[in-house]
Structure 1
């Protein structure tokens, strides 16, 4: 699983958006990519809903019906 993530990272960020002028520019690019990957990308296991949206819906549903887990 980690190898798949590393491959995605290399393909989407390193190979398609580099090279960068300095470490700071590369660091900002990595932080933006991680934020996108963890929160905004469409995730097939979640019904092609971004993880942030899915989590928000989960907690909203849970608040409305605390008996469900």
Structure 2
């Protein structure tokens, strides 16, 4: 199986492959057998939503990644208004 990305691009292969492995462990292997392709697609969407919007990440203060991103852009916008 080829790796994600290509030589010299900015895509972080190791990180992408670890997320793919995590996804396979948490979704694909635990919830099989899949009855149809749509079931896999729905489970994928639900997992990605959880991973980005509900998963609490200890290194960033036990908040979801999306919340940290929102705080970052609000802070950046506030700094631009002051300047």
TM-score interval (norm. to shorter): 0.7 to 0.9
Deviations 1:45-69 (A, max 9, x none): 322210111111112222222279x
Higher helix proportion:
1
How many residue pairs end up in the alignment? 68
| TM-score (normalised: structure 1) | 0.74
Which fold has the larger relative contact order, with Cα–Cα distance below 8 Å and residues 6 or more apart in sequence? Answer: 1
TM-score normalised by structure 2 residue count: 0.65
Query: How is 1:10-25 mapped onto 2 (pairs within 5 angstroms)?
Result: 10-25=24-39
State the match for 1:38 in structure 2: 52
Instruction: Give the match's secondary structure for 2:35.
Output: coil
Cα deviation code 1:10-47 (max 9, x no counterpart): 11101222222111111111111112212321223322
Q: How does 1:57-68 map to 2 (within 5 A)?
A: 57-66=71-80
Structure 2 gap segments, 5+ residues each: 1-14
If you compute each CA radius of gyration, which structure gives the higher value, 1 or 2?
A: 2
| Backbone CA RMSD of aligned residues | 2.1
- Higher mean C-alpha deviation, range 9-18 or range 42-51: 42-51
- Aligned equivalents of 2:60 and 2:18: distance in 1? 18
